[in-house]
Amino acid sequence: MDVKCLLSDELEYELKIRGMEYASGMTVAQKRKLLGPIFKKEKYLNVSVRVDSSMLEFQSEIDACKAKITSIETELADPINQSHPKYLTRALHLARRIDRIPVGEDNDETAINDLKTAASNILALVDPVSLSDAGEPCDAAQSTPIVLPRPEPPITPGHHVNETEAGFADRLAGLLDASLQRLEDSRHSHVPIRKWGVSFSGTPDGTSVVTFLRHLEEKKRASNISESRLIRTCFLPGNYELMLWDEIRARKQGVNEAPLFYIATMKELFSRFTRPPSPHEQLMLIMANLQPFYATPLSLINVDSVDHLNTLCLKLENTRTNNSRVASGSKLSVLEVSPSRENISLPSDYDNFFSPKKPVPQHQKVLNPETIQQFPGP
């Protein structure tokens, strides 16, 4: 564990279980300076701390751990804090402290199991990879023990052993070991690259390209930094992830943007983080910026994952397409007079042209003079 990440009361606990005396007026920096060499020695010798259970009082430890869990969970409500190594160190300290709580005949083991479950959830939140890597009891058997073995409670006719609870200590031990190793790797990778002392000027009297690349490769391996991480560190701004959070919060689905492309874009933004947000946080951020056409019906449905959301949005998109097709078809089936044709002027004899012919009276007939026969007179 990194002593610089522990708070004052956490440092006092670590000093107490090691039997080290300290003045009541010591500052946090003084406590860290006193405890730092002890941590390094224990790591070098690969030893565990054996604690005298008589030093710890059951109820006070339960209350202290509950308060610590509440404090850490409150701070981890901000997704940015979940990627900070400080909270992984504090979560490891909390898990170890819970595992050292003395168990007796009069003590309630249910309270301890509840605390262990809460600590395991916190560890999974700040280090989600370790939950799948260190979830089996065999991991604890292959690693250095970090907790003291306790005698199993006697099994009485009224006491039923839950297999999940019985293997929880081994599972938590493996989880702690994997998280410790990941934390150590993270510490190595945070060595400032500017302090490596490797540079290339390109001048004839300077370092050659081959020598520069060889030194760079050596420093990269010693600091446990991948090539992609090296490039990100060199060329990205220091507050890149904060800027990325602002971009994600401001990214809204376009009016004519298909939900499939919007969700794919958001997932690509999440993948840029060193420690991406949890799947639940990704789901909430995506749903918060959906268009109202999708957000309104989805608010009445329990969406389980981003893939589930993608499926539901695709169904809504198909429904809207079908509705548009049906609406356009119904308009074609109705004959309507175009407004531009309502005021067309008709010829004056329009009505006479279509009205039936009326017989002309005899006295109104006009005779053609040329057709009149001339009868001779008497």
More confident: 171 or 7: 7
Among the residue ranges 10-14, 197-201, 285-289, the one predicted with the least confidence is: 197-201
pLDDT at 160: 43
Q: Are residues 49 and 178 in the same domain?
A: yes
Q: Are residues 136 and 246 in the same domain?
A: no
pTM for the structure as a whole: 0.39
Q: Are residues 321 and 276 in the same domain?
A: yes
Q: Are residues 176 and 223 in the same domain?
A: no
Report the domain count for the chain: 3
pLDDT tens-place string over residues 351-371:
555 555 556 565 555 555 555
The answer to whether residue 366 is domain-embedded is: no
Q: Are residues 86 and 110 in the same domain?
A: yes
The answer to whether residue 339 is domain-embedded is: no
Q: Are residues 9 and 25 in the same domain?
A: yes
More confident: 75 or 131: 75
Q: Are residues 144 and 249 in the same domain?
A: no
The answer to whether residue 49 is domain-embedded is: yes
The answer to whether residue 333 is domain-embedded is: no
Q: Are residues 171 and 110 in the same domain?
A: yes
Range of the domain at 256: 240-327
Q: Are residues 98 and 207 in the same domain?
A: no
Does 78 have pLDDT greater than 80? no
Domain of residue 252, CATH code = 1.10.1200
> What is the CB-side half-sphere exposure of residue 361 using CA atoms within 13 A?
2
Q: Are residues 294 and 249 in the same domain?
A: yes
Q: Are residues 86 and 135 in the same domain?
A: yes
Give the domain-ending residue among 286, 310, 327: 327
